[in-house]
Each structure stands twice: as C-alpha cells, then as structure tokens.
Structure 1
Amino acid sequence: MNINSHISSLLYRYQCVTVPGFGAFLTEIQSAQLNGSAVTFNPPRKVVSFNANIKNNDGLLANHIALAEKISYEEAVSNLTKEVAVWMQKLQNRETLSIENIGNIKLSSEMTWFFEPINNTNYLTSSFGLSNFISPTVKREELKKVVEELEEVAPIIFTPEKKRNYSYLKYAAAAVLFFGLAGTVGYKYYYDNQIEQQTLMVEKSVQDKVHDKIQEATFFIDTSIPAVNVAIEEDTKNYPYHIVAGVFSNEQNAKNAYTDLIKQGFKAELGPKSNNGMNPVYFQSFLEYNEAKLFLDNLRKTTNDQAWLLID
C-alpha cells in the first residue's frame, strides 16, 4: 500500500500527521516573502518538517486510510506497519526514502535522520491558486544609453508650439484608475470568500465521517464499571474544537470517565452520541483553534499523549 498520498492529503487540513512507529510530519505556516534581486514574490505556505521522536499512533492516519480504502481500522493499522517496515529497511540500507510531494529522508554517517522537504506543493489552503511571481528588472540605464546613441546620429530638434491645457485628462485618468482598482479588489474579495467557504465545507464533511468511525478499536472498555449518575449541564455556546479523552461504546463507561476527569480538575464534557452509537468524552472544548492546540500540546507532554483534536 502506498501511503504517500494519504499523508499528503491530511497535511492540507492538519498541522501534524503521525506515521505510527516511524515519525511525524509537522507543518508551520510561513508568511509571504520577497527574495532575490529580481524581486521574487512567494505566497504564504505551509513548511513541512519531520520529527522522528513522535511515533505514537493517534489514529488519524489509520482512520483516514480505512475510510479512503474502505477497509477496517485493524487492517489499515496492519498495512501501515508493513509499509513502515519497508521504509526502515531502505534507511538501514543507506538508501534515500523518497515520499512523493513531501520530502526525502536518509540516514547520515552519524546515524542521524536527515529530512529534505520538497517545496513543489503548497499545503496552505488559503493560498490556493497562488504561485511564485517574479517582477522583471526595469532596465532604465540601458534605455537611456540607446536614446543617447540615437541623439548622436540624428539630433532631436524641438519645435515650439502653443501649450495646451490637458489638466482635465488627469482627472479622467484618476477616475478610471479608481474604478478599476475598486473592481479588482471587489472581485478578489469575492474569490477569496468563495475559496474559504469551499474549504470549510470540505473540512466539515471529512470531520463528520471521521467522527463516526474514529477510535472504535482503540477506546473500547469491555469491563463493567459501577454505574455513576452524572448531571450534565447544557452549554449554550458553540465550541467547535474538542480535545478527546476517549470514545466509548458503553454510555455508562463514558459517564464514569467524564466523572473521573472532573475530579482531576478538567472542564470535561460528554460529546453527542455518533451515528454508530459511540460516546465521546472531551477533556475540554474551545472556541479558538490556537487555544485548543496549546492545551493539546501541554496535555500530551504532561498527562495523556494519546489525546487528539476533533473539529466540528
């Protein structure tokens, strides 16, 4: 199985895609830049890096493969394990591992990992349709030299004439420029807005599908736990970013896990039951993505390295 395309697809929507037992591909947003004497404009992009120390299975890649290939979660994990074994064998043989549209990985003489990204793909969806632009150099000095040579061959004689008033042309040109710029800005705003809406629709569709199947094989609890009555408060705000602690097939087990998180001091929540009867439990939910990402990073370092982010 070729997992390159699946990793590449996830990098458009997530900042971290982990290959279990191998490492994680991370993305960082880089702002637009001007480079070189020829004034090359580079649009904003996602810069891809690799961390060989992050190897835990967060379920993201396996569930994506299961949905895309229409196979079970267990089969997807098994296929991932086989592919990683092939990758590791190539690196041990000192061969360069080439991952299409992402980068090349190889081992140095000191047995350290070296990752060289391939920058031909921009994974930042907000920069869709933008490409590098090179502004040509204005050759004023060369044109001036050509004019001087022409003057030496055939001197230019100016004939005096009555000066005419063309001031009204300035106002006409200014009006044309103003309306032209206004039309351009309006069209660009409309185009950017359409692209953003389409991207959000795609992300929402993928999240709905993942929400139904994610972590079915990872977070089941078969042992029976004494029932605990939990009072659930209705939250009037719409928090789209959820830090998931677990997904349970048994509703009472989900309530027990919720109670345990509350005792630990978390602002835990019971998520809505999915279409296939799964009951998610959240450490906490957030309004802003940056807050959720910061909380998740700290949680993985200190308490639970299996927590993951779910976006409504």
Structure 2
Amino acid sequence: MHFTTYISDLLYRYECVIIPGFGAFLGHRVAARHNPDTHTFFPPYKRLSFNAQLTQNDGLLANYAASAENISYGEALQNVQEFAAQLNADLQAGNEVVFTKIGTLSRNEAGKINFEPAGESNFLTEAFGLATYQFEVVSRTAPVVEEPVVEPKVVTLEQKQRNSPWLKYAAVGLLAIGLSGSLGFLYFKDIADHNLAEEQKAKQVVDETIQKATFTIENPLPAVTLNVFKPSGNYHIVAGAFRIPENAEVKVEELRKAGYKARLIGENKYGLHQVVYGSYADRSEASKVLREVRNSDNPNAWMLVQELD
C-alpha cells in the first residue's frame, strides 16, 4: 500500500494524522511573513511536526486506505499495523525512514525520534499556488512638498488724522497764515511714528505727499497708456509665504484659477516670497474679503497693511 501518499493526502485536510502503533504527524498553521534583510516574502504554510506519543488508532488512516484500495476496514487496519511495525523495526536498526514530500524520521543516541520536515510541499490549502518570492528594493524619492510658512501676524495700527473742531482748526489756520503765509496741516501720528517725526526730511514729506495725492486734470495732454495689471491698495490679503519662488508662483496660478486676483508682492523681512489673494484700497472691503477667505478657503489668511512701490 502507498501509505506515504495517503498520509500526504490527509495532511492537506486534517491537522493530525495518526499511524496507529507508531506516532502522528501534526500540522500547525504559520502566518505569512516578510524578511526585510533578504527582501523575501514567505506565504502562509502548514508547519509539520511528529509526536511519537500519539499512537492510539482514530480510524482516519485505515478508513482512507480502505476507500483508496477498495478493501474492508479490518483488512486496511491490519495493513496499517504491519506498516507501523516495519517503521519501528527500521528505526530500531538505526535506519532513516523517509516519507516523500513529508520529511525524514531517525532515532538519536538517546533513543528519541527526530523529525526533519522536507519543506517541499505546503499542506495549507488556502495558500495553494503561493510561492516564496524575493523582490528587488525599489528606491523612491518622495517629492518635497513645502508647506506655506505662516508669517507672524503683526498688528498694524492705521494712521488716522485727528480732526479738530472747526473753531480750533480756524484758529490754527489763522495762526499759520500769520506766521508763515501758507496753509499747514498738522498730523498727530500714532505712537509707532512719533519718534520718527522729527527725523523726517523735507524731501521725504514732499515725496510722500506726492505719492498719496490724486490730481484731476480737465484736459490732460496725450499720454502713453500701458495696459498692465497692477492691483492697487494698501490692504493685502496674504495667502502664504514661500521660501522657494517656484512654489509661490504655483500658488498664484492656483488662486487665479479659483477666481482671485492673486499676485506676488515681493519678499518680506524673512526672505519669504509673499502671495496675496488680492489688494484693496478700502479697509472695509479688504476685511470682508478676509472673512470670506477664512471661512471658505484658508483659515490662516491674514491682512497686511503696507504701501507697495
């Protein structure tokens, strides 16, 4: 009889196959694993072992042999017992007993039976078709995605001209006319500009006055008009600041596609390239846009108050 083949067939279906009067082959499920050192994937398998203490007949091997050989159970059981007696005799004589595709049995100096699994067959049916696989290491360079650097928020105090009552204004105007013969305007600056007032030169005052003034000419002379998109206003809604110029330009294009009049307004004192959603001449309008942007697009957006060249 082909008992080695029968035992192999039964190991695919059962966790324990007993050879009455000899011992039992046991199957233990081992999960799939990966060796990071050799880059090898090992599928799940059934690890085999042998237990010489399990010798009681459970009828499994004899029934399978009877069905395969088309003989009675009693005759099959007798053949199994003769097979077990032959195995014990071979081991007692110091010979190795080889079970094809299962493993090898031998007796050591202490008289105990050693089992060495063959390892060539995987008796775990759910892992059928899976083999050990070794793969090459794939080197990948992760793209560097720069996060916008959130610039510390600085509260800019808006300079406001304090209007004096009419009588005081008239008195000051008369006094200025009497002393200098010209109309003067007195501005009280905020605390941040107070210390700089005395250091301003006449030329700077004139330049600032010219830059802030708006002239209306009834019949202007013909002039060359350049159609350049340049948003005006000193109130800017900042979307972010980038160390790499290319990233800043990508952000501008992204915001323009979203419908904003985005642009670059140059580097700040930290050397970062600032991108704004838009620039506005009116603070109220800028504040309204800021609220909308924070609610719908960027909660970290903030307002920069600065006069640009």
TM-score, normalised via structure 2 length: 0.44
Q: Which has more radius of gyration?
A: 2
Structure in which a larger fraction of residues adopt helix = 1
Return the TM-score normalized by structure 1: 0.44
